Amino acid sequence: MQENDLIKRNVETVRGRIEAACRAAGRSPREVELCAVTKYVGAEQMRALLEAGVSLIGENRVQAAAKKIRDLGRRDFKFHMIGHLQSNKAADAAALFDAVQSVDSLKLARILNAEAGKQNRALEVYLQVNSSGESSKSGVAPGEFMDLAKRVLECEHLHLTGVMTIGPLTQNQAAVRDAFSRTKSLYEELRAISPEVVNLSMGMSGDLEIAIDLGATQVRVGSALYEGV
Instruction: Show me where the domains of the chain are located.
Output: 3-225
Q: What is the mean pLDDT of residues 28-52?
A: 95
C-alpha 37: how far from its chain's center? 9
How far is it, in rounded angstroms, from Cα 8 to Cα 11? Answer: 5
Question: Three-class SS string for the chain?
Answer: CCHHHHHHHHHHHHHHHHHHHHHHHCCCHHHCEEEEECCCCCHHHHHHHHHCCCCEEEECCHHHHHHHHHHHCCCCCEEEECCCCCHHHHHHHHHHCCEEEEECCHHHHHHHHHHHHHCCCCEEEEEEECCCCCCCCCCECHHHHHHHHHHHHCCCCEEEEEEECCCCCCCCHHHHHHHHHHHHHHHHHHHHHCCCCCEEECCCCCCHHHHHHCCCCEEEECHHHCCCC
In the chain, what percentage of residues exceed pLDDT 90?
89
Q: What is the mean pLDDT of residues 50-69?
A: 95
Q: Is the pLDDT of residue 174 over 70?
A: yes
pLDDT top residue among 75 and 192: 192
pLDDT in tens, 137-173: 899 999 999 999 999 999 999 999 999 999 998 899 9
How far is it, in rounded angstroms, from Cα 211 to Cα 200? Answer: 9
The pLDDT-based confidence of 222 (bands split at 50, 70, 90) is very high
pLDDT in tens, 80-103: 999 999 999 999 999 999 999 999
Q: Is the pLDDT of residue 1 over 70?
A: no
How far is it, in rounded angstroms, from Cα 98 to Cα 111? Answer: 16
What is the second-level CATH architecture of the domain 3-225? Alpha-Beta Barrel (3.20)
In the chain, what percentage of residues exceed pLDDT 70?
99
Comparing C-alpha atoms, which of 213, 167, 186, 194 is closest to residue 20?
A: 213
Structure pTM?
A: 0.95
> Kindly report the CA angle at 138 between 14 and 163, in degrees rounded to 5?
60
Q: What is the mean pLDDT of residues 119-127?
A: 96
| pLDDT of 76 | 82
